[in-house]
Structure 1
Amino acid sequence: MYAILDIETTGGKYNEEGITEIAIYKYDGHEVVDQFISLINPEREIQPFVVNLTGINSGMLRHAPKFYEVAKRIVEITEDCIVVAHNAKFDNRILKTEFKRLGFEFERKTLCTVELAKNLIPGQTSYSLGKLVRALGIPVTDRHRASGDALATVKLFKMLLDKDTEKNIIQQSIRLNPKRQLDPRHIDIIEEMPSATGIYYIHKANGEIIYIGKSNNIKKRINQHFTNTNQKSKKIQQQVVAVTYEVTGSELVALLKESEGIKRNKPVFNRALRRNIFTHALYSFKDGNNYINLKIDVVDGRKKPITTFSNRQSGKSFITKAVEEYNLCQKLTGLYKTKTSCFNYEIKACNGACIEIESPEIYNMRVETLINKNSYKNKNMVIIDKGRAIDERSAILIENGVFKGLGYFNLNYQINNFEILKSIITPMTNNRDTQHIIQNFLRKNKRLKIITL
């Protein structure tokens, strides 16, 4: 659990500042579950430059509560939480100073979004909150007011969690804040899970991830882990202390994040998926008569496939449908072995490429249409899919035929600006598995929105 906060102060000498406004959003890693926002009477003068910056003046604070009147609420909403702030060192110092004046030691673990952003989003021209969120396309209102800045920090932190592909933030949170750990009884863990599409991380006591999974219903899948009686499930049941999750909205995003997460974290119970998950591929070549032939074969790392499949049968099924859809020759697609005409020619369902009646130029045009549709080689495009909320969409970026990563954007913001698009994208590794996952998903979901860049 995180307490994401922002504080406005009077300015002035070091450790003599007073708080004029505070906003705290209690965030469970997915949504805001509680909040506290209040002006505060600092009982001291506000520096003129601060009045100009924030718009908060002494007249506005005359009837506001003094710090001691809101101190209990601040303690309660931040209890068992890691305090998150943009320049957390400053906000934490101010809070500790105010509590020290009351004779109370305020001790909380902290995370700084400036430090996290420098690590996870390098190369930005500025890491000040205003410039950073603008560069990332994050909407912000009431700049330099506690509520507006704290809410912008919530949105920034949410993006940073997405970009933390190593899951260091989550693992550190579990390790540093054991009170956040879910009750080890399985029924309590299951109750915390959403019935939504996403990925989940099963942790043991030291925060280490021991299993990563993907599901269209996380709650149902975790329940299966805790009720199955196979050896792997029993070992997971013995070691699990906490389960964290990411709602992705998109099944494609979940598949890509699962694959990336397993390869990066190498969980002990994901041995099978550490390896490549496809076995067969579709290849093309020109025969002696200049016809493009298609062939399903075992994956060969030295060759570039058009698309890949989990097994031979899946590939054969794809070719069978393609023959019918694109009016291709059974012989030239490897479905019908013969030295003469294919079976479809005999029943007038093939135009005769198998016996050179149809010209290579005309036949190859249909084959190339199939190849272009099922390969994103050399293409620049963004695949748009569901987001985590109604007003959000996910974006999967393909640049020059290479998978670059994914991110989320608000529907109120257009992503036709390539620089903005690149800033919201979490870089991910391009490998054979990601190519297989994307192409397989595109084959099965023909209504996906694709923007060509």
Structure 2
Amino acid sequence: MYAVIDIETSGGKFGEERIIEVAVFRFDGNEIVDQFISLVNPDAHIQPYVQKLTGITPKMVRRAPKFHEIAKRLVEVTEDAVFVAHNVNFDYRVVQEEFSRLGYDFQRKTLDTITHAQRLIPGLKAYGLETLCESLGILNSNRHRADGDARATVKLLALLLAKDTEKKIEGIARNRQDTTPDHSFSKLTAELYNTTGLYYIHNSKGEVIYLGQSRNLRNQIDRHFLATNERALQLQAEADSIQIEPTGSELIARIVEHLELKKLKPALNKRTDKYTLSQGLFIDVNDDKSVRSIRVQKVKKERPIIHFSDEATGLELAAQYCRNFGIQPKDVAMSFQLDAMQAFYNEHLEVQKIRVTSPIKRVWRTAFPFINAMLIDKGRKTGEKSMVLIEDGKLRGYGYFELEMQVADLETVKRSITSIASSSYLASLVYDHYHKGKFDEVRTY
């Protein structure tokens, strides 16, 4: 029996996301035998980018049940079933955290449809749910909502079960606690569950042929060695050893990954791997330096002022920019982006006092409402914190500390951090982390 689940969350800091919608379909391998679908009142702020992506607003969840009111039903519908999701580590973690707040230890076998799609449907460029649905002709008329995505995952699971002639998925449902088949580096990855950091895959000559980062190194590395597409098979054939570098902080992992990819140029990484933020903000100015247009679009050859993970985040910053400098969205927005930018403009009523004239500097001052700050994040072990230093509006470096006295003196901090050459892309990574509320603390000075 399988409990196929999808959740939508409020966004925010890692470990503090709250469920705003859940859908569970109890699937016996042939048909759905039970289901539960509900909006959930998170008792927390829903991030604007989540509202834009899902269409779920605070008004919609105001009268919805809170998690403690649906917890018993979730236990019932998932009992004695494998917990199935597309990228299961995320859904399972958030559900476990919700139950943990109630003092209940929620434990289920888990199965990730991404891992088995890579094994059974090789050769695709990507294995996101949307890409798989398009490639396999699976209709999902309600994307980015729990009901639509969970139903699509049920259809995907049914297809995978039909293609799984070795019956590995059924074996998991019957016996195994661990959904990941063995591979050459299984012993190494077994200890990396929920470990955040980087991994370097070396060939027999000691050369780095691939590197990456993840919030869950075990899951990410396993995917490389279970996939059957051409690039994965080449990696599996050449891989001789793996070096792990825990960072604790997802942001530091992304910063180091970007720098290392530029320096090492591993043979099996794609050129685009070092630029995971694919959207950018562009401002066109008139001869008198006034703003003619503001665009948020996919980054190609033209270099943006700032990068984003998605269009909605860029439009929100553009709206804040307009509010700060007395610009009406209707005068500068692209026609197809005007409604979204205007909606964000109406949300951001507070005006920041920014005394710079350059459009580029104005964008960055709008993005970061501080000039000098230490941005505190998770560390690599218990009792340790990581820190990113912003000075004079520029990213200066990162480091770790255990004692408060280590960050009490700015000069001591500067001597202890790993200095990096600031760039608009690295600063954009910091903004992405900051905008999503992932820092534990922001200390200005």
TM-score, length basis structure 2: 0.47
Larger Rg: 1
TM-score, length basis structure 1: 0.46
